[in-house]
Structure 1
Amino acid sequence: MSEPGIHHQTFWSQIADLPHVLEFPVIDGIRTRVLRIGEGRPDENRQTIVMMAGTSGHIEAYTHNIRALAAKYRIVAYDYPGHGYSTLVAGGTLEIADYARHLFALLDHYGLDRPHLCGESLGGWIALKVAREHPERFASLILSAPGGRMIADDRLNKTQSVSTDAVADPTWENVKARLNVVIHDADHISDELIAIRKAVYSRPGFAASMKAIGALRTPEIRRRNAVTDDDYAAQKLPALLVWTDHEPSGDPETGRHLAELMPHGRFLLVEDAAHWPQWENPDLFNGAVLRFLEGMTA
């Protein structure tokens, strides 16, 4: 039997031999699943990377990145309100202000001083908004296929039907189809990732929570929360924007344009990938992130 490739290594195999804490503190009234890893020696005073997943996502979206980044940085990864294994939302809407308030409460809870924000999709959307308003609270941005722009309905709705099917009927096949929208090569979708997402979608109350999460797809709500070119152009922090050649929200030139809008922006294109560049080519992603962060302190 051959050894599985990087895409099929499990979350547990990545962290099992490393000191870590997986805990559920109450943050902003939300029982929040948080992974802390990479503390290092007490005399190291490591900088922190806060890792933020995408819509309906969870910590495991960074399965293939945490170990590499934790070798040099303290990692704090968490599930948003209504997401993963954090407290679900019974009604209403989840908008960027809600995610931002929870993020700032998390920073205060752990006493995090100017962490780097590593946000994928929704995580990048949140990062762009909070960093524009409060650049003094953060050190840099790592934006992995960031979301939040107003885009054509056909692009915005590309994932809608498979997402609806997967949440309403979280079978193995439906969940894999949902993941195949964000991961270009279906062979790179691990059994563990399907199993975790299936378990999350099967949580009692998740369907209602997904309605609150999905509010950002509603045109009126999305418009008032949207990321604009001005949000990119006003960024004061160093930023690495990672895009792909099969990104559902825009072609590579779109990503390059967004990176060039930022005064201190850098661009990385990951090929043969869709919406999860950090998963689809982790070696390229991890190396680029480490060089970017090391370059800031050189």
Structure 2
Amino acid sequence: MNAATYWVDLLQAQVRTVEGRYRTRIVEAGEGPALILLHGTGGHIENYARNIMPLAQHFRVIALDFLWHGMSQTEGFDREVIPHLVDQVTDVMDVLGIDSAAVEGQSLGGWVAMRLALLHPERVSHLVLTTTMGYEPDAGSIDGYVEPDWSKNLASSLEVLRDPSIENVRSRMARILADPARLTFEAIAVRQALYRQPALSAVQQEFITEYLSGSTIRQHLVSDGDACRIEQPVLVYWGDQNRTPPSLGLRLSQQVHNGRFHCAEDTGHWAQFESAEEHNRVVLQFLQDPASTDIKEN
């Protein structure tokens, strides 16, 4: 795929807004079993621009903008966050007539995907958790692991929303890649265009403040005890340069009933973008054959 012009490839996809309990922008492509893609904090559909069409060769792929993100609904912010995003996913599924789907979530999206699988197990066939947030292992269970102080990112995250210049957006996005040189101008320009929307900028400032420094959202963290109740086949996909180390992802894959773990080299937090070809190959292999021996087992 030409990294500089990924919307050329997405011309074969359908972009629209669906109305149910919420107003949600989606992109849809392909036929077959449903696969829902959930993006990370501050992100949007385009986070999966390098993945949608390759995955759509085998699945009916639906990527969506979360509430208070992208071009979805900006009204009604609630600091609990996670239950509303879970409800939004089931709302989109209901509108589209999807009873059950495989779900991939990256970062915040992984947190939502785990809670979706716990609250509505009948609606989730497989889980792909890509550099997921929201997992809190038992204290002392991972040697040397200390959760990063996410609040240190708050000032810069608010600054880019207040002043979405190209340089501020570039700086904000660069920290989620192992190699910032891989960040394309198109990726920056799309993020900038969205952050220039006054309503989105305002709600994102509320959102990121709670996400990085609030306590209300943390009521919905996924513990080891919670993870042990996830029975669907799970692929935990990590980047070796992710801010939280591969040992965290490996631990999560060991807590779920039916887990696999894969760590991409020279890859940061935005793993589905930075190692797109490897990601697409590994995810497709897992979804088509969850017991594949080519994916590292826990």
What is the TM-score with the length of structure 1 in the denominator?
A: 0.89
Aligned residue for 2:201, secondary structure, equals: helix
Out of 47, 62, 72, the position equivalent to 2:48 is 62
User: What residue in structure 2 maps to residue 201 of structure 1?
Assistant: 195
Change in CA separation of 1:253 and 1:10 when aligned onto 2, cut-off 3 Å: same
User: What residue in structure 2 maps to residue 21 of structure 1?
Assistant: 14
CA distance, structure 2, for counterparts of residue 283 and residue 73 of structure 1: 17
CA contact (8 A) 1:10 1:63 kept: no
Q: How far off its partner does 1:296 sit?
A: 4.2
Which letter maps to 1:36? E
User: What residue in structure 2 maps to residue 136 of structure 1?
Assistant: 122
CA contact (8 A) 1:232 1:258 kept: yes
Change in CA separation of 1:65 and 1:206 when aligned onto 2, cut-off 3 Å: same
User: What residue in structure 2 maps to residue 255 of structure 1?
Assistant: 249
CA contact (8 A) 1:91 1:208 kept: no
User: What residue in structure 2 maps to residue 43 of structure 1?
Assistant: none
Residues 200-241 of structure 1 show CA distances to partners (whole Å, capped at 9, x for unaligned) of 111012232113322233342133121211222111100100
Residues 124-161 of structure 1 show CA distances to partners (whole Å, capped at 9, x for unaligned) of 00010110122111110011111113596744135323
| Higher mean displacement: 203-212 or 184-193 | 203-212
RMSD value, Cα: 2.0
Change in CA separation of 1:155 and 1:271 when aligned onto 2, cut-off 3 Å: farther
User: What residue in structure 1 maps to residue 139 of structure 2?
Assistant: none
Determine if the alignment matches structure 1 residue 285 to structure 2 residue 271: no
Q: How far off its partner does 1:11 sit?
A: 2.8
CA contact (8 A) 2:118 2:229 kept: yes
Instruction: Please list every run of 5 or more consecutive structure 1 residues that lacks an aligned counterpart in the other structure.
Output: 1-5, 40-45
Determine if the alignment matches structure 1 residue 238 to structure 2 residue 233: yes
Change in CA separation of 1:188 and 1:147 when aligned onto 2, cut-off 3 Å: same
Q: How does 1:66-215 map to 2 (within 5 A)?
A: 66-89=52-75, 91-93=77-79, 95-150=81-136, 154-214=148-208, 215=210
Out of 213, 217, 221, the position equivalent to 2:216 is 221
Q: How far off its partner does 1:24 sit?
A: 1.0
CA distance, structure 1, for counterparts of residue 193 and residue 175 of structure 2: 19
Residues 260-281 of structure 1 show CA distances to partners (whole Å, capped at 9, x for unaligned) of 1111010010111111111111
CA distance, structure 2, for counterparts of residue 153 and residue 288 of structure 1: 27
CA distance, structure 2, for counterparts of residue 152 and residue 222 of structure 1: 19
Out of 37, 41, 55, the position equivalent to 2:29 is 37
| Higher mean displacement: 225-234 or 49-58 | 225-234
Residues 164-187 of structure 1 show CA distances to partners (whole Å, capped at 9, x for unaligned) of 121111000000011011122111
CA distance, structure 2, for counterparts of residue 271 and residue 155 of structure 1: 24
Aligned residue for 2:8, secondary structure, equals: helix
Residues 46-66 of structure 1 show CA distances to partners (whole Å, capped at 9, x for unaligned) of 101001100111011011111
Instruction: Please list every run of 5 or more consecutive structure 2 residues that lacks an aligned counterpart in the other structure.
Output: 137-144, 293-298
CA distance, structure 2, for counterparts of residue 226 and residue 218 of structure 1: 14
Which letter maps to 1:182? I
CA distance, structure 2, for counterparts of residue 108 and residue 89 of structure 1: 21
Number of equivalences: 283
Change in CA separation of 1:284 and 1:96 when aligned onto 2, cut-off 3 Å: same
What is the TM-score with the length of structure 2 in the denominator?
A: 0.89
CA contact (8 A) 2:154 2:212 kept: no
CA distance, structure 2, for counterparts of residue 107 and residue 7 of structure 1: 31
CA contact (8 A) 2:80 2:217 kept: no
